[in-house]
Amino acid sequence: MSTRFLRAPALRTLALAALGLALLALAFAAPSGAQTAAGVPHIKNGAAPKGGVETLQLTELWRRGGEDDEELLFGIITDAEVGPDGNIYLLDAQLNEVKVLSPEGELLRSIGREGEGPGEFRNAQQFTFLPDGNIGVAQVFPGKLIGLTPSGDPAQDVEPGKADPTAGGFFVLVNAESGGGNLVVTGIDLSFDQTTMSQKRHYFVRSYGLDGKQKTEFYGVDRTWVFNDNFKFLESDNDFVWRRFGVSDTGQVVAALQPYEYALSVYGPDGKLERIIEREYETWPRNDRVRQRYQSIMEAQSAQFPNRPTPVLETDEPDVQHLRCAADGTIWVLTSRAIYAPEPGVLALWDVFSAQGEFLKQVKAMAPGDPATDWLFLTDEGLAIQVTGFWDAALAAMGGGGAESEEAAPMQIICYSTKP
């Protein structure tokens, strides 16, 4: 079992200490403010956490990459996880490889490479440790999880689109998470009708077996794009829960389905909606910097469509930016205000909820950096990993970024201790 970079105690990755399936059989103990609608408990929280704010003073241990590191050059690091061996795995989306570092920051090896053969991939921005212990690198198109062993040998690929293909269509894979033996992916089923110049798009959150067969669809949305003179390229049509979901060690799926609702839907491994966790929150209106970022992304993408439609952007930023499931069963949420309107000196600020949905506390990490460009991963082992320039690099990988990402310094990985 791998240990995740707790997106909250440990950001995105995998193996949190299991809570035990027996917990699922316990009676649901809802905090005050719980209501039931359509048979589903809604846990309503105010704007302030019950336990106040906890501060993490980070102590730097080591850093790699940047202008002064002659051994290690990073392209665009878009995902990171702690493996079952305790090593740190970093997906470099630009160089098409996974760099493996020791807990002390030593470069041990690079695995995977660009190509179409076994253990090779392109256009991947996420990865996960699969239920069999191997690595699955989420290649966007053709959509599949490229299999690698932790040592770097090719392993079995997981090909969801091949096992259950859309008739005459294509399978796009965006993100993948694994927990409690439950492999969950987000993606799009695409089909195109040339007679009407239309494209049908089914956005989904699903679980799959390692054989590529679909188990459960937790959530799905249908959209149709008609490429005529009236076609508008809407940012809202691209919004989905791509990175706004997590998988717990019991196999539960937690997802923020709507961009402008602070509401977390919690599903059992079988797809049943078990509860919805809500928190009072004021949506953050984008400033000029963020609007320009998305403008450049949308313009780059619109250039790929017939007649190059004019992009139509949203004026506000989605409430929930990321969420992660931690080893102790808590749910950690990163909001738009935490990223774009932070307190001075705060590199990251998470909302932390109990497994039952109570807003327990906020945790803020104090360290140099800019939350609007950097990303901080927390681990179960008392470490925090900062990826400098993360947000600009991720946006650039989607086709945007603008001048500020072009002039950015080389990416660095900085490792901190979170222990007193």
Span 360-375, mean pLDDT? Answer: 93
Long-range contacts of 232-236, Cβ-Cβ distance < 8 Å, separation of 24 or more: 232/309, 232/310, 232/312, 233/298, 233/301, 233/302, 233/305, 233/309, 233/310, 233/311, 233/312, 234/312, 235/294, 235/298, 235/311, 235/312, 235/313, 235/314, 236/312, 236/314
Around Cβ 392, how many Cβ atoms within 10 Å?
A: 24
Q: Is the pLDDT of residue 361 over 80?
A: yes
Q: Is the pLDDT of residue 187 over 60?
A: yes
Token code pair at residue 262: 């602070």
Residue with tokens 């952007």: 313
pLDDT in tens, 117-144: 999 999 998 999 999 999 999 999 999 9
Alpha carbon of residue 391 to chain centroid: 12
404-414 exposure pattern, b = at least 16 Cβ within 10 A, e = fewer: bbeeeeebbbb
CA distance 163 to 363: 42
CA distance 203 to 236: 13
Which one-letter amino acid corresponds to residue 59? Answer: T
pLDDT at 7: 34
Tell me the pLDDT of the chain averaged across its residues.
Answer: 86
- The dihedral sign for the CA sequence 21, 23, 26, 29: negative
pLDDT in tens, 382-396: 788 999 987 766 666
Span 103-118, mean pLDDT? Answer: 96
DSSP conformation class of 397: H
DSSP conformation class of 294: H
Which one-letter amino acid corresponds to residue 127? Answer: F
Span 20-49, mean pLDDT? Answer: 62
pLDDT at 313: 96
Give 32 or 130, the one with higher predicted confidence: 130
Domain positions in the chain are: 56-417
Contacts of 195 (CB under 8 A, 6+ apart): none
pLDDT at 27: 28
The two most distant CA atoms of the chain are separated, in Å, by 65
Q: Is the pLDDT of residue 2 over 50?
A: no
CA distance 399 to 395: 7
CA distance 12 to 325: 8
CATH code, 56-417: 2.120.10.30
Q: Is the pLDDT of residue 36 over 90?
A: no
240-259 exposure pattern, b = at least 16 Cβ within 10 A, e = fewer: bbbbbbbbbbbbbbbbbbeb
CA distance 136 to 114: 15
Around Cβ 311, how many Cβ atoms within 10 Å?
A: 19
In contact, 75 and 389? CB cutoff 8 Å: no
Work out the percent of the chain whose per-residue pLDDT is above 70: 86
- DSSP 3-state assignment of 139? strand
Question: In what helix (H) or strand (E) does residue 373 lie, and over which residues does it extend?
Answer: none
DSSP conformation class of 25: G
40 exposure class (CB count in 10 Å sphere: 0-12, 13-18, 19+)? middle
Which one-letter amino acid corresponds to residue 349? Answer: L
